[in-house]
């Protein structure tokens, strides 16, 4: 077994195939109302390779003008984000050990060539709650380090159905996705990977 930094918990195969299919169906419904958009980097306006959407009361967005932030509305449709499915709230309650409710689920979609650079999730106002991540579809290579950029990092694969928790001392650890392994899952009919991250944004 691989040793992970304190506060990082990997639960391989947390979701059974049938649960993955149910959640995928719910995510497809959400994306029908709140379509995937491509965020751009603050200042440079460079597009991310990942496309995103959200559900819950808040969604994470980024663009050249406004930078990284949470907002109540989809940046393209201007509609409120769709409700968070009860299935995801239940997972938060099972895994988070936080009496608060999740306020946001960020939906990341990766095609075969998308990746995500090392980053910290620090746009929330509250770091006592963990971030809970669920992976659906193709396997990825995930990398996690410490709270400082440039420290040593550990890499491992995330497969469809795996849950990953960033809590405590690792809540603000740098992490990213180095690559997607194409054709490693049959869950998404056209391939690719979906990552869901459940978040508490404001102080409860």
Binding site for Fe ion (CB under 5 A): 121
Q: Minimal distance in Å, beta carbon 140 to ligand MD6?
A: 6
Stated as kind and residue range, the H or E segment containing 29 is helix 17-33
Sign of CA dihedral 76, 202, 161, 94: negative
User: Is the CB of residue 172 less than 8 Å from the CB of residue 127?
Assistant: yes
Q: Minimal distance in Å, beta carbon 175 to Fe ion?
A: 6
DSSP letters of 37-48? B--B-TTT-PBP
Residue 121 in contact with ligand MD6, rule: CB under 6 A: yes
Structure tokens given for 159: 């497969």
Which is closer to Fe ion, CB of 121 or CB of 138? 121
Which residues are bridge partners to 142 per DSSP? 156, 177
Q: Whole-angstrom Cα distance, residue 166 to residue 29?
A: 27
User: Is the CB of residue 163 less than 8 Å from the CB of residue 95?
Assistant: yes
Site residues for ligand MD6, window 100-119 (CB under 6 A)? 108, 116
Give the residue at shortest CB distance from Fe ion.
121
177 binds, among ligand MD6, Fe ion, none (CB under 5 to 8 A by kind): ligand MD6
185 binds, among Fe ion, ligand MD6, none (CB under 5 to 8 A by kind): none
Q: Whole-angstrom Cα distance, residue 54 to residue 58?
A: 8
Which is closer to Fe ion, CB of 121 or CB of 162? 121
Residue 15 in contact with ligand MD6, rule: CB under 6 A: no
Which is closer to ligand MD6, CB of 15 or CB of 164? 164
Site residues for ligand MD6 per CB under 6 A:
108, 116, 121, 131, 133, 142, 164, 166, 175, 177, 195, 197
């Amino acid at each position: 077994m691989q040793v992970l930094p304190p506060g990082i918990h990997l639960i391989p195969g947390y979701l059974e195939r049938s649960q993955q299919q149910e959640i995928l169906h719910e995510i497809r419904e959400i994306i029908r109302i709140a379509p995937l958009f491509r965020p751009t980097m603050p200042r440079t306006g460079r597009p991310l390779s990942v496309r995103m959407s959200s559900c819950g009361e808040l969604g994470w967005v980024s663009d050249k003008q406004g930078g990284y932030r949470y907002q109540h509305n989809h940046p393209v449709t201007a509609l409120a984000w769709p409700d968070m499915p009860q299935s995801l709230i239940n997972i938060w309650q099972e895994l988070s050990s936080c009496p608060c409710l999740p306020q946001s689920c960020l939906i990341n979609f990766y095609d075969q060539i998308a990746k995500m650079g090392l980053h910290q999730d620090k746009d929330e106002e509250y770091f006592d709650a963990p971030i809970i991540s669920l992976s659906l579809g193709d396997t990825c290579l995930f990398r996690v380090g410490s709270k400082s950029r440039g420290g040593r990092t550990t890499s491992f694969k995330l497969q469809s159905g795996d849950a990953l928790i960033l809590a405590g001392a690792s809540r603000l650890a740098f992490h990213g996705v180095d690559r997607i392994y194409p054709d490693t899952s049959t869950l998404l009919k056209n391939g690719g990977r979906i990552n869901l991250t459940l978040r508490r944004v404001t102080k409860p």
